[in-house]
Structure 1
Amino acid sequence: MELTLRDRVRRSAGPGAVLRALPSVLVAFTVATDHGDHRLPFPLIVALAAIVVISNGWLVLLRDGEPIGRSVYALLAFALAGSLLWFALPGSALIALPYWVARVAVRYHRPGPVEWVVVGIATVGATVPFYLASHSVGVAFGVIFGMAALVLASTNRRNRETQMEELEVSLARRQTALEEHGRAAALAERARIARDVHDVLAHSLAGLSLNLQGARLMLVRDGASAEAIEQVTRAQGLAADGLAEARRAVAALRDDSVPDERALADLVTAYRLESGATATFETSGTTRELPADVMNALYRTLQEALANTRKHALGAPVLATLEYGDTIRLSVEDQPGRRPDRAEPGGYGLVGMRERAELLGGSLVAGPTAQGWRVELKVPG
């Protein structure tokens, strides 16, 4: 993208830009202190000096590695005007001008055909005045050799800097690749551990919980002591808690920290295994991924509702329904078969869930029904 003049000035500010502006100072000083010893008319010298200053001002805006673009015309103008100035004022310090423009042509970017033409003009412009003054071929070749050495040194430095930049980029890419490989290996290992925990531990705990549930029902059927039934019930609760912890560990290993629909179903399953009561989780509408804050609100609301059911109506059937739509609706209803005597709970659990719902722009309602108790959460989806 072409940079504006303001952008170029801002990006070029610095010691390097100041050094590249020195030819303009040199030309202005030399022309201002001219004592009449020149080979061209003074008005023409002033015009050439103006061309050098203007073209040098544009070249100051060049940056390392930046495509030269239209600045190539400034290079050509500087090379021609600078060489003629050195020819017009052979006893001055303007010999630096051809050397300077040749260096600029190859130093800050990869030169093309026009840049090499600039180097040729600068070489001729530096050599001819020396040859006219000395009529010595050796002196002329010495000037040419000096120009060639300067161009080669500048080209070599640019190439070395380019190679260093490419090496840094290559090392950065290699480091990124190694980090990605290590991250992928870590994720693969975590996924393997998660599979093992899920397939072995979680399934074993689920089977253990079902067996304990069956044992408890048989003890009740056979009229076993209350202590025995209590011990089996407690063991069943521990198995259900272990199953929930195992599932949370699997989710953590898979970086699945945000609850999803599966996590809601797991809460209902844990309640069913723990209580031995009927517990159903149903969904309706088009299933879709919900924002993390919405899923957290659904999860915490279902968790609190089931905790209240355990406290006030242990063993009651539970129906949990999740409806997808413009508004997400979660309904949790326990159905012990009678209207509860308890008033709306005043504990902090549902109060906190109501506040969470309001922060999301939704609402939470909890109250008795003809068959039990219902908690209903509505949040924008």
Structure 2
Amino acid sequence: MTPRRPPFPTAQGWLRWGLVAVPMITTMPRADAVAWVLIGITLVLSVPMPWIADLGARTSSAILSLAVIASTGALWVALPGSWATVAMFSTTFFVVLRQAPVPIVLAIVLDAALITVVWVARQDLWESALSTYAVLAVIVLMGLNRRTRNARVEQTELALARAQTASEEHARAAALAERARIARELHDVLAHSLAGLSLNLQGARLMLVRDGASPDAVAQIERAQKLASDGMAEARKAVAALREDAVPVERAIADLLAAYRLDSGARADLEVEGEPRELDAAVGTALVRAVQEALANTRKHAAHADVDVTLGYTAGSVTLTVTDRQGRRPPDAPAAGYGLRGMSERVALLDGHLDSGPGEDGWRIHLTVPA
């Protein structure tokens, strides 16, 4: 399995890195031996920052941010007049904005301790320390305000997505009700009428044969009877088609992923490769059930993990790959569960092939079935 490439850093990622790297560069002309060591440590710690700005409350991100606060704070203690405070306070802002409550509290306590150390070491007036504490308070309040705003935006987007889903379901239910009404009309009127016509034509043919009618007349009645029988069969097929709600496989899988996104808040994407085509009902059911089982396992063993689904159409077969992105290699399963066994049996009945197991950054399921 090929590991996923890290995404290109966002503008916020570059900003976060710049607010740490630039102050370090400006501090270099005044640096002594201790300051050079702290600058080097900080620059090394800042290297992953463009990529972790969007990871959210992850343990590695929190530890890295707290380490940057500690190193820049130590540099500020060594060089009190430097721009190290810019790096320290900007990193604190991003911790308040993105991290869990425990890292936020640790960052604030660490900042307050460093401010106190500088105040005691320089023996400044208490107003100087108070003003720095005030700056820290403003930074924290700004981060909390932005965090609350982001949460409101996410809740609004989630509500809109749920409203759209409800609207689509309502429209779909209305369409199904209309199709059911048309199916009833076809069954009760057209199909019954054609059945009666076929029986009457059968009786007429028997009467013509009994009375010794010409072969041409009997042949005409037989042709009419066949047309009535064919029409009745087509009417029954139309009723069955209207009663069934055949949903394309791509749409069914997309609906499952949309439900997963709403439940977990994680990313879940579907990529379709090749030209989609109509699949046999058994094949479509196997693909949809495979995605259902994979998402159920992800919810159980790797909650809130991102999910990538690839549906590929090739000549004579269709492939499905479901991968959850846990950010680590999961342990090997001691034995296949009932869900995976059922999936494997369903694929085997279609003369297909199923592979499942841990990959570099999550669990992967890949199946191929003739189609």
Instruction: State TM-score, norm by structure 2.
Output: 0.57
The verdict on how the C-alpha distance between 1:248 and 1:147 changes in structure 2, with shifts beyond 3 A counting, is same
Task: Name the structure 2 match of 1:49.
Answer: 39
Task: Name the structure 2 match of 1:338.
Answer: none
1:249-268 → structure 2 map (5 Å cutoff): 249-255=238-244
CA drift of 1:148 comes to: 1.0
User: Residue type matched to 1:129 in 2?
Assistant: V
**Does 2:182 align with 1:193?**
yes
Q: Is the 8 A contact 1:98 1:123 kept in 2?
A: no
1:295-321 deviations in whole A, cap 9, x for unaligned? xxxxxxxxxxxxxxxxxxxxxxxxxxx
**Does 2:160 align with 1:160?**
no
The runs of 5 or more residues in structure 2 that have no matched partner are 247-278, 283-371
Task: Name the structure 2 match of 1:63.
Answer: 53
**Does 2:210 align with 1:210?**
no
Q: Name the structure, 1 or 2, with higher relative contact order (CA <8 Å, separation 6+).
A: 2
CA drift of 1:157 comes to: 0.9
Q: Is the 8 A contact 2:209 2:218 kept in 1?
A: yes
1:89-130 deviations in whole A, cap 9, x for unaligned? 122222213312311221223x33243122222133246536
The verdict on how the C-alpha distance between 1:32 and 1:236 changes in structure 2, with shifts beyond 3 A counting, is closer
Equivalent residue in structure 2 for 1:243, among 232, 241, 252 = 232
The runs of 5 or more residues in structure 1 that have no matched partner are 1-5, 36-41, 258-289, 294-381
1:107-118 → structure 2 map (5 Å cutoff): 107-109=97-99, 111-118=100-107
User: Residue type matched to 1:17 in 2?
Assistant: G
Q: In angstroms, what is the RMSD of aligned CA positions?
A: 3.5
| Count of residues paired in the alignment | 249
Q: Is the 8 A contact 2:97 2:146 kept in 1?
A: yes
Tell me the secondary structure at the aligned position of residue 51 of structure 2: coil
Q: Is the 8 A contact 1:27 1:53 kept in 2?
A: no
Task: Name the structure 1 match of 2:83.
Answer: 93
Task: Name the structure 2 match of 1:11.
Answer: 7
1:137-148 → structure 2 map (5 Å cutoff): 137-148=126-137
Tell which structure's C-alpha radius of gyration is larger.
Answer: 1
The verdict on how the C-alpha distance between 1:256 and 1:170 changes in structure 2, with shifts beyond 3 A counting, is closer
* C-alpha distance in structure 2 between counterparts of 1:80 and 1:230, whole Å: 99
Q: Is the 8 A contact 1:84 1:125 kept in 2?
A: yes
Q: Is the 8 A contact 1:206 1:239 kept in 2?
A: yes
CA drift of 1:32 comes to: 2.6
What is the percent sequence identity of the aligned residues?
41
* C-alpha distance in structure 2 between counterparts of 1:9 and 1:220, whole Å: 80
Q: Is the 8 A contact 1:21 1:60 kept in 2?
A: yes
User: Residue type matched to 1:26 in 2?
Assistant: V
Task: Name the structure 2 match of 1:33.
Answer: 29
Q: Is the 8 A contact 2:19 2:87 kept in 1?
A: yes
